[in-house]
Structure 1
Amino acid sequence: MRNFKKDGHHKGKDHDSHHRGPKTFRRGRAIAFLEMMNVKRSTIKEQLDKPEFQSINQILVGELKAIDMLINEFIQLFEIQENEAADKKSEEKETSNEKGMEMNETN
């Protein structure tokens, strides 16, 4: 059976009590995307130093410049501060730790 709050909105069993609204959710997804772009950037940077990628070095340099440009534009577009990305990482770590504790409790 569904649980409804007084205002008529559905409140399921997985409802987060720290609900912050759709704008914050979208911002969180934007920050997660930025983190993914930074991982890709790191991978390309590592490949530049490896001898097996020497034949495509110029391509990797071009990709690195392009991803740097995208990251910078993304940061400006969404007005993301460096501390926001760090905060998002620590939130995700706390959430995964809490889920891990819940899993241990049920085992």
Structure 2
Amino acid sequence: MGIFHRNDRAHGGAGRTSVIAPGTTIRGDIRSDGGIHIDGTVIGNVEAATYIIVAGGARVEGDLHAREVYLGGEVQGDIWAVEVDMLDKGRCLGKIEAIRLNEDRG
């Protein structure tokens, strides 16, 4: 199965991280009391209490809601967060509503 949990406090998360592995596609909305790390594809909205990581090569067709969002892949939807870190190859094809937006365009 493409989703598993691991303990992860590196991104300010208390609790566990759900991981969607490369080559895995999830259809439907996802909610987590911890963090979510996406390496595959999600077709649906994603909500996490702590953070969402959309890794390079990953894709989300839906909205993201979390305290922190790390964007290295592609989101076709809107992002709502306190802080968004947009990496060099990160793309959001929607609106971003955040208190802080950090862009790595180096």
**Range class of TM-score, shorter chain:** under 0.3
Could you say which structure has the greater relative contact order, defined with CA pairs below 8 angstroms and 6 or more residues apart? 1
Q: Which is richer in helix?
A: 1
Which structure carries more strand by proportion? 2
Q: Bigger radius of gyration, 1 or 2?
A: 1
Q: TM-score, normalised by structure 2?
A: 0.23
Q: TM-score, normalised by structure 1?
A: 0.22
